[in-house]
Amino acid sequence: MHIETAISLRDCNTFGLPATAATLVRITSEADVRQVVNHPELGPAPKFILGGGSNVVFTRDVTACLLKVEITGLRVVEERADAVIVEAGAGVRWHDLVAWTLGQGLPGLENLALIPGTVGAAPVQNIGAYGLELADRFDSLDAVDLISGRSVTLDRARCRFGYRDSVFKRELAGKSLITRVRLRLPRPWQPVLEYLDLQRKCEEAGFIEGRLPGARQVFDWVCEIRRAKLPDPAVIGNAGSFFKNPVVSLEQCRDIIARDPHLVHYPMDDGQFKLAAGWLIDACGWKGKSVGAAAVYEKQALVLVNRGGASGGEVMTLARAIQESVYGRFGIRLEPEPIVV
């Protein structure tokens, strides 16, 4: 096990924010995790787990022992009549897993193409896009308990997935390190095309009257839509959506629509409504506004970007100003989506 000290994290977070880790350990196997747990100094120290750094805002240096997950490996575990189970190491880039499954002729993850970050981080916030969530394709995962060093396997129920939420953001935050994730790809495959942007693509390409696009086509569309709307972190620092889409009651939704008829809202199964936070922020006039080098992306108000040299403090000052203005106009408290350190 190699312990690194005083490491810059600027290249380890997609926002490109400055911070250092007092202690960093690269985790390439379960054995590495156990070595950390049994280490006389690192064992009892608080831990911070980092994957691709695509969902974190560093506002200060990390004093906890930072475990950078770099476990590799991709394999088909089981082929059943109703599903194929694939497994990926937690350090594999999520998009590489999606592309690999398609290359193997195993569709099912195409709606989740191009999501930045690693496989191990995907269950933490239950990544989702274009009508599909990780939870819809999740089979199970392996993790190591950071106190006992014991390996555990968690099924879907034990992960307690919610909208951009799981047990790893709550009770198990910093206590359990995900090492491998297994996905269940249902057979026969059926495209997921309910999302408005995908329906538009279907119409434009002439997929009508029961003629359905293939998985590779859906993958290409999702990549196109994302590239048009979302900034590439390799070009301009960002952490994807900065706020969660808020959920409100029917009464609250009606009340807002009475004043703002164009409110973008989606009915949910439980009778509540999910509102498009991007629309709320846009309606308050935030697109393109900035605090220092932190700015609201011009093409998608839900994304905050680093125009070059921003600090985590600037990002959070901008975020708080947005929260206040949305609360002032709509009475809704926006909740940040990334983990703020």
Contact footprint for ligand EPU (CB under 6 A): 129-130, 229-230, 240-241, 244-245, 264, 276, 278-279, 282, 287, 300-302, 337
- Which of 172, 165, 146, 179 is closest to 72 using CA atoms? 179
Q: CA-based angle 9:12:16, to the nearest 5?
A: 80
Q: Can the peptide bond before residue 40 be classed as cis, meaning omega within 30 degrees of 0?
A: no
Name the residue nearer to ligand EPU (CB basis): 80 or 227.
227
Question: Active-site residue among 241, 311, 314, 325?
Answer: 241
Name the residue nearer to ligand EPU (CB basis): 101 or 245.
245
Would you call 337 a catalytic residue per the annotation?
Answer: yes
CB atoms within 10 A of CB 276: 17
Q: How far is the CB of 15 from ligand EPU (least distance, A)?
A: 12
Name the 3-class secondary structure at 304: strand
Name the residue nearer to ligand EPU (CB basis): 89 or 128.
128
Question: Active-site residue among 54, 93, 110, 164?
Answer: 164
| Phi, psi angle pair for 325, to nearest 5° | -70, -35
Per residue in 48-61, is it b (16+ CB within 10 Å) or e — as a string?
Answer: bbbbbbbbbbbeee
Q: How far is the CB of 162 from ligand EPU (least distance, A)?
A: 12
Q: How far is the CB of 18 from ligand EPU (least distance, A)?
A: 22
Name the residue nearer to ligand EPU (CB basis): 34 or 244.
244
Contact 120, 71 (CB under 8 A): yes
Distance CA 95, CA 21 (A): 27
Contact 89, 66 (CB under 8 A): no
**Which run of H or E residues covers position 104?**
none
Which residue's entry shows tokens 């106190």?
Answer: 147
Distance CA 10, CA 288 (A): 24
Q: How far is the CB of 122 from ligand EPU (least distance, A)?
A: 11
Name the residue nearer to ligand EPU (CB basis): 33 or 275.
275
Question: Active-site residue among 87, 110, 133, 337?
Answer: 337
Q: How far is the CB of 244 from ligand EPU (least distance, A)?
A: 5
Q: How far is the CB of 52 from ligand EPU (least distance, A)?
A: 12
For residue 232 the two structure tokens come to: 């590439």
DSSP 244: P
Name the residue nearer to ligand EPU (CB basis): 302 or 326.
302
Distance CA 77, CA 104 (A): 13
Distance CA 192, CA 275 (A): 21
Active site residues: 164, 241, 337
